[in-house]
Amino acid sequence: MPAVLRRSPDVASALLPLALILATAPAAAQSIPDNQIVVTATRSPLEIARSGSAISVIRAEEIQEKGARSIAEVFRALPGVDVSESGGIGAVTNITIRGSNPGQTLILVDGIRVGDSTAIGGEFDFGAFGATDIERIEVLRGPQSALYGSDAMGGVINIITRKGAGAPRASIAVEGGSYGSKGIRASLSGSTETVNYAFSLNGVDTAGFSRFGYRLGRLSPTLIAPLENDPTRRLAGSARIGWRPVDGVEIEAGATTYWSNIAFDGFGTDDRFNRQRSLVSEGWTKGSLVSFGGVLKTSLTAFGGRTDRNYGFSGEGYSPPFASDYRGNRYGAELQNDLRLGTYGLLVFGARTETETAAIWTQPLPRGSALRVQDVDARQTTNALFALWQLPVGERLNLSLGGRVDDVADNTFYTWRATAAYDLRETNTKLRASIGTGAKAPSLYQLYNPYDPTRGAGLQPEESLGIDAGIDQFAFDNRLKLSVGVFWNKYRNLIEFRDLAFFPVYQAQYYNVGRAETKGVEASADLVLVPGEWRARGTYTFMIAKDLETELSLLRRPRNKGSVGLVYSGIPKLELEGRVLMVGPRPDYNLGSRVRLAPYARLDLWARYDLDATWQLYARAENVTNAHYEEAYSYGTTGRAFFAGLRAQW
Predicted confidence (pLDDT) per residue in 10-37, tens digit: 444 444 444 433 333 333 335 565 568 9
Contact 99, 154 (CB under 8 A): yes
Section 467-471 average pLDDT: 98
CATH of the domain at 41: 2.40.170.20
Section 254-271 average pLDDT: 88
Residue 32's H or E segment, with its range, is none
Strand partners, 309: 278, 326
Count Cβ neighbours within 10 Å for each residue of 485-519 and write b for 16 or more, e otherwise: bbbbbbbbbbbeeeeeeeeeeeeebbbbebebbbb
Q: Which residue type, as a one-letter code, is found at position 296?
A: L
Residue, of 365 and 349, whose pLDDT is higher: 349
Residue 542 pLDDT class (50, 70, 90 cuts) = very high
Q: Would residue 575 count as lying in a domain?
A: yes
229's CB contacts (< 8 A; 6+ apart) are 179, 207, 208, 209, 210, 263
Residue 4 pLDDT class (50, 70, 90 cuts) = very low
DSSP-assigned states of every residue in 207-229? ----TBTTT-GGGGGG-SS----
Residue 645 pLDDT class (50, 70, 90 cuts) = very high
Q: Which residue type, as a one-letter code, is found at position 540?
A: Y
Residue, of 420 and 65, whose pLDDT is higher: 420
Alpha carbons 484 and 539: distance in angstroms, whole number: 10
pLDDT over 60 (residue 207): yes
Q: Would residue 201 count as lying in a domain?
A: yes
Alpha carbons 133 and 202: distance in angstroms, whole number: 8
pLDDT at 18: 41
- Predicted TM-score of the model (pTM): 0.92
Determine how β-strand 275-291 pairs with β-strand 552-553.
unpaired
Q: Would residue 618 count as lying in a domain?
A: yes
Q: Would residue 1 count as lying in a domain?
A: no
pLDDT over 60 (residue 47): yes
Strand partners, 609: 574, 617
Predicted confidence (pLDDT) per residue in 424-464, tens digit: 999 999 999 999 999 999 999 999 999 998 888 889 999 99
Q: Would residue 3 count as lying in a domain?
A: no
Predicted confidence (pLDDT) per residue in 132-188, tens digit: 789 999 999 999 999 999 999 999 999 999 999 999 999 999 999 999 999 999 999
Domain of residue 564 covers 11-649
Backbone dihedral angles phi then psi of residue 62, each to the nearest 5 degrees: -65, -35
Q: Would residue 2 count as lying in a domain?
A: no
Predicted confidence (pLDDT) per residue in 625-639, tens digit: 999 999 999 999 999
Max mean pLDDT among 15-29, 118-132, 310-324 falls in: 118-132
Contact 130, 281 (CB under 8 A): no
Predicted confidence (pLDDT) per residue in 578-617, tens digit: 999 999 999 999 888 999 999 999 999 999 999 999 999 9
Q: How much of the chain exceeds pLDDT 90, in percent?
A: 78
Q: Would residue 6 count as lying in a domain?
A: no
Cis peptide before 320 (omega within 30 of 0): yes
The helix/strand/coil state of 293 is helix
Q: Would residue 228 count as lying in a domain?
A: yes
pLDDT at 60: 86
CB atoms within 10 A of CB 179: 18
Alpha carbons 315 and 313: distance in angstroms, whole number: 6
- Number of structural domains found in the chain: 1
